[in-house]
Structure formats: C-alpha cells, structure tokens
Structure 1
Amino acid sequence: MSRKRHEPHEEHPDESWLLPYSDLMTLLLALFIVLFAASSVNTSKLEEMSRAFKTAFSSGIGILDKGALTEDNQLKRRTAEDLDRKDDGKKSRKTLELEEQQNLEELQQQLDKYIQKSGLSTQLETNLNQSELLITIRDNALFPSGSANIKQESQKLATAIGQMLHQYPGYEILVTGHTDNQPINTAEFPSNWELSSKRAVNFMKILLKYGNLDPKLFSSTAYGEYRPLESNLTDAGRAKNRRVEVSILRKYVEPATDGANQITLTAMADEGNKQ
C-alpha cells in the first residue's frame, strides 16, 4: 500500500501592516476633508462635519472637537439669555407696578383737589389700597331721597370724575350702589336692591357719556343694605351707608402669601367648627 505524498504548506505573506495603513489613510482623508472645509466660508458645514468625525472616531479632544465646544458655548449662551429674559420680565412687571402706583396716586391727588376746591369734603372721599382706588360718594350728593335720578347740579360731579378717569385708560372700573336698611316699597323700587342697582347704573352711564371711556371696562352691581360702613341704628350711620362707590381696579395685584392663605383657611375652619 503506497503512502500519499504530502505537499508542504504554502506560506502566506504577513499582511498585518494593512490595518494600521488603512487607519492612517482614513485619518489622512479625514484631515484633508477638514482642511478643505476650513477653507470654506460655510462654518456651519464645518461644525457638522466635525461632530460627525468626532462621533465616528471618538479619539478624544482635538481639532475635530471644535464643533462640540462651539455647541456647548452656544448652549451656555442661550441659557444665559433665557435667564436674562426672565430677569427682564420680573423687572418689567416691577416697573409696571411702580407706574401703576404713580398713576393711581396722581389720579387720587386730582380727585382730592377737586373735592377740596368744590367744597365736597363731607360728601366725597378717596382711598387707595392694595387692590383699588376707591371713590365714595354719599347719596345726598347725587340723588334726591328715595330716587335714582341724578340731580341736575350733580351731573357736573360725575362729568368731572369721568374726565379725570379718561386720563388713565385701561383700568377696569366697578360702580356699586349701597343703601341703608330702611325698607322701600314703591312701584319703581320694590326693595333696596332695585334702588341701589338703578343708582349705580345711572351714575355709570354719566361717567361713560361725558368721560369718553371704554364701556367694556365698566360694570355695575348692587349691594342694597348688606354692606354697611356704619351702624344703621343712627341717622349719621345710615347717611354714610347710602352711597355710590367707584372702584378703579389695579391691573397688578400681589398674590396672597402662604401665611395669609393659612390664616384665611384657619379662620374658615374655625367658623365651620362653630357652626
């Protein structure tokens, strides 16, 4: 039996050098592409290519990381700009609050001067608080007893107030009517509700007519005898309770603090327990 002759194995040349060579060629290609892109005016494409190469090679920080660094800087700048805009928003609101306070103080001064000049100190008064500028007008300065028709001589007062309000547009204005607790029962006014409502509406109409004001900012309501300023047991108290109030409402009102809310909730809870 013959033995088969085995041919010696053919040796293969060492081709391991191809791997670093191909890597070197790839890097050189990338370098030339970057240099070509850098010579172009279109920097946005350069940044996009740099980010792409950085992702592909992930070889640490180098020239290809410029796009990433630029992106980080842009993010930081946008964040700073957002913070600045928020601060500007706070400042602008604060500025508007100060301007509103100044406007309402000026309007109150004009009203007080008119009241003093016209000798109406016992019939009109103003009060500026955190929510409104309140003008209180006694009923005898405007209406005959038991009537909602404004006196002819009193229309000058309503006209003057309307003209002053015209100098400070944009504020919501609420006109409210109030009476004492003396009952009324006529064909025109079955109760104090109707009387106080009609008085508020009639006074509001004159403000709008002679003040050239925006009707959509006006509203009226009636409280009848149920929001007195003084006791209805005396003539003086009842006289103060019969009134028309004009409220110029603030646009910027500070929200109630948590402490104030807690006090209110506690008071409501106590009231509920008593009941």
Structure 2
Amino acid sequence: MDDDNECEECESGAPAWMATFADLMSLLMCFFVLLLSFSEMDIQKYKQVAGSMKFAFGVQREVEADTIPRGTSVIKQEFSPGTPSPSAIPVMKQQTQDDSRDELRVNASVSPELDELLAKIEEGMKEEIDEEVVELVLLSDSVMLRIRESDAFPSGSAEMQSGFLPVLDKLETLLEGEEADSRIIVSGHTDNVPISTTLYPSNWVLSAARAATVVHYLSEVRTIDPDRIEIRAFADTQPVADNDTPENRARNRRIEINISVPEEEY
C-alpha cells in the first residue's frame, strides 16, 4: 500500500519552470518578429554590399536587382560563374594634343576663338594633362577643366591641398590675356554617398564650399576679376559615371572650371 501511494504522488511531464520558460521564449520571438515587420532595408547599402560580394567572389549578375529582394532569401539567384582572368590594372586614357580633336569635342559646332582657347590651355597645362591631374573637355560654348577630388581636396573637406595651388596659378596666368568679359564658372560635384558633419551637413554644402574655396583663391589670392567668376554647386545631381563602384564614385567627386569666350565673338 505504501508503494502505491508513493506512485500516485509522483509528478508526470516537464518541470513547472519549463512552462514559464516557454512563455518567455514565445514572447521574445513575437517581439523580434514585430521589430522585423517595422524595419526597412536600406537599398543603397544593400546594393553596395551586393556589389562588393560580386567582385570578391568573381561572379557576374545577369539580371540587375532594381528592387529589394523579397521571399525566403535576400540573395539574388540570377548569378553565373565569372570567367577566371588576371586582374587588369585600370588605365585611364587622357585626351592630349596628339589625340583626335573630334574625340575631345562634345559638340563640334564651336567658334574659332573657343578652339584657340582650348589649344592655348592644352599647351600651357600639358604636364598636368599628361599626369592626369587635369582633364580637358571642349563643349559648345566653353572649355572645361575637370579636376578630381583626390588631386584638389582631402576626403570630406573643402580645404585645398597644396599640390592643387600650382594648377590654379598656371590657369590664372593663361587667362591673363583673355577678354575681361569672358566667364569662369567653378562647379563643385560629389558622389551619392551622403555626408553629415558639423561643417558639411550635406553634399550640397560640401560641393558649394569646395567651389567657393577655388573662387576665393582665384579672386582674392590671384588677380582674376571677381565679376568674371560664378559659383555653382551640384552635389551628386550630375554624375559623369554610375555610382556603383568606388572608382566611379571617385570620378564623380570633382571640381569643374568652365571658361567661355564672349558671346559677341561667335
């Protein structure tokens, strides 16, 4: 009889604390599911990460991911194996006097005065062009000097590097004989990576500050008439390349100086 009573008092199943523990885990799971449902994926960061993985693993995407992947996996399935090949050293071809003028022109309908100005700048800044510090582009109404951020300003700053000053000095010397009513437009450009600092709360402020620094040097330190100069800031609205790789973003971070001849000379 004593043995029968002992068996009736034995507890069956899981311990009592297990029910409380299971309730706690269920509540935590519901909490994190709720957080996930309110979260949003940063499409820009996703594309940057996906692009980095593509280059790291040597694969090529056949179908471009224009939208956020949805479903059971955030990894796109449209990949094909990349062709093994030695890493090529990037080479940028710079237009010089030896190249065809037709390749340099964006619009071939230009005045003789503008063509003469281009030849003058090409000859005077040949060293900077050969070293790819300056890129020249002939537009329909102006000659454009394009300077990369790395050759002009430190990253995220509007303080000119000392190596950029001789370029502006030489440019000012070349423009001394130009007509007083010719126009000089200095434009600042950035990539699409946002910046938020105390001095530069946005890419607009940074691009404007860099253009203003160049104009200040040309007008205050050098002798160019301030009435001939304009400042423009474009932030990331006028890229020269897609902001999909570090190299292309570096190309978009630039200063452009447009020099035009008087309109009455056309």
TM class by shorter-chain length?
A: 0.5 to 0.7
Q: Secondary structure, in 3 states, of the residue corresponding to 2:175?
A: helix
1:143 equivalent in alignment to 2:140: no
Summarize the Cα distance change of 1:108–1:231 in structure 2 as closer, same or farther, 3 Å threshold. same
Query: TM-score normalized by structure 2?
Result: 0.54
1:249 to 224, 235, 260: 260
Amino acid at match of 2:151: A
Mind listing any 5+ residue stretches in structure 1 that lack a counterpart?
1-96, 256-275
1:191 equivalent in alignment to 2:173: no
Amino acid at match of 2:204: W
Q: Per-residue displacement from partner, 1:110-154 (whole Å, max 9, x unpaired)?
A: 3441324xx531x31111221110000001101011000001232
Deviation at 1:213, TM superposition (A): 1.2
Partner in structure 1 of residue 128 of structure 2: 115
Partner in structure 2 of residue 228 of structure 1: 239
Partner in structure 2 of residue 128 of structure 1: 138
Q: Distance in 2 between matches of 1:253 and 1:229?
A: 31
Summarize the Cα distance change of 1:172–1:250 in structure 2 as closer, same or farther, 3 Å threshold. same
Amino acid at match of 1:191: S
Deviation at 1:210, TM superposition (A): 4.7
Contact 1:163–1:211, Cα closer than 8 Å, also in 2: no
Aligned ranges for residues 1-275 of structure 1 at < 5 Å?
97-98=111-112, 100-116=113-129, 120-121=131-132, 123-170=133-180, 171-252=182-263
Q: Distance in 2 between matches of 1:103 and 1:213?
A: 20
Q: Distance in 1 between matches of 2:124 and 2:253?
A: 21
Q: Secondary structure, in 3 states, of the residue corresponding to 1:166?
A: coil
By percentage of residues, which structure has more helix?
Answer: 1
Deviation at 1:185, TM superposition (A): 0.2
Summarize the Cα distance change of 1:254–1:234 in structure 2 as closer, same or farther, 3 Å threshold. farther
Contact 1:177–1:199, Cα closer than 8 Å, also in 2: yes
Q: State the identity %.
A: 30
Summarize the Cα distance change of 1:102–1:232 in structure 2 as closer, same or farther, 3 Å threshold. closer
Deviation at 1:169, TM superposition (A): 3.2
Amino acid at match of 2:122: Q
Query: TM-score normalized by structure 1?
Result: 0.52
Amino acid at match of 1:149: E
Root-mean-square deviation (Å):
2.1
Q: Which range moves more in the overlay, 182-191 or 153-162?
A: 153-162
Q: Distance in 1 between matches of 2:172 and 2:220?
A: 8
Partner in structure 1 of residue 49 of structure 2: none
Q: Distance in 2 between matches of 1:169 and 1:115?
A: 24
Contact 1:138–1:243, Cα closer than 8 Å, also in 2: yes
Summarize the Cα distance change of 1:152–1:112 in structure 2 as closer, same or farther, 3 Å threshold. closer
Deviation at 1:249, TM superposition (A): 1.8
Contact 1:159–1:206, Cα closer than 8 Å, also in 2: no
Contact 1:166–1:211, Cα closer than 8 Å, also in 2: no
Q: Distance in 2 between matches of 1:124 and 1:130?
A: 19
Number of positions where the alignment pairs a residue of Structure 1 with one of Structure 2: 155
Q: Distance in 2 between matches of 1:115 and 1:187?
A: 34
Partner in structure 1 of residue 22 of structure 2: none
Amino acid at match of 1:110: E
Q: Distance in 1 between matches of 2:124 and 2:188?
A: 20
